[in-house]
A = this chain, B = another copy of it.
C-alpha cells in the first residue's frame, strides 16, 4: 500500500494488528474513522482508553469487572457453593445468556497448552484453589472448551480438586440442538451415543 500519510498508515497498522483483521478491512476501518465527526472520533478514542483503564479483574473470580468485585460475585442471589470454571470472560457471557445457571464463575484466562508455553502457573488455577480453602464450595463444573487444551485443563484441575472432597463435573458432550446429524463429526456423535439418556 502506497499511503505516504503517516497518521493514516499508523491507524491502518493499529487495526491490522487485531487477530482476524486483514489489510483491506483495516484500511476500510481507518477510512471509517476519517469519515467520523470530531466528536465521534474523540468518543471512539476515549472508549478505548476508558475500557482499558476502568476494566480490571474481579478479585474473587478473575472475570472482568469495573470494580473490586464483578456483579456476579457481588450479588447475594448467586449460589456461592457452585463454581463454573471457564477459559474466558466471553464464556461467562455465553453461559449467562442461558439464564439457567445460578452459581458463580471462575475465569482461567486461558487453558493449559504446552505447545504455546502455557502451563498451570500461567492461568488462574492458584486463585481457584484459594477460593476452595474455606469449605463453602461443594461442586466445581468444568466448562473449559471441548478442545485438547480445554480437556487437559479440566483433567488437571479435577485431579487437584478430587482429594479435597469436592465434586467435579464436566459439561455434557453431544450433538448441538438444531444441528443436522449428517454434519456432526464422528467424535461428537460417539460421545452423544455414550451419553445417551432414557426418554
A8 touches B51 (CB 8 A): yes
A50 at the interface (CB under 8 A from B): yes
A117 within 8 A of B: no
A94 to B73, CA, bound (A): 53
Chain B residues closer than 8 Å to A48, beta-carbon distance: 11, 14, 33, 41, 44-45, 48
Please indicate the chain B residues that have their CB under 8 angstroms from the CB of A25 in the complex: 20
Mostly, the A contact residues are: helix
In the complex, 14 of the A-B residue pairs with CB atoms within 8 angstroms, ordered by the A residue number, are A2-B96, A2-B97, A5-B64, A7-B55, A8-B64, A13-B47, A14-B43, A27-B90, A31-B90, A34-B55, A34-B64, A41-B48, A45-B45, A45-B49
A contacts, CB < 8 Å to B? 1-8, 10-11, 13-14, 18-21, 25, 27-34, 36, 38, 41-55, 64-66, 71, 89-90, 93, 96-97
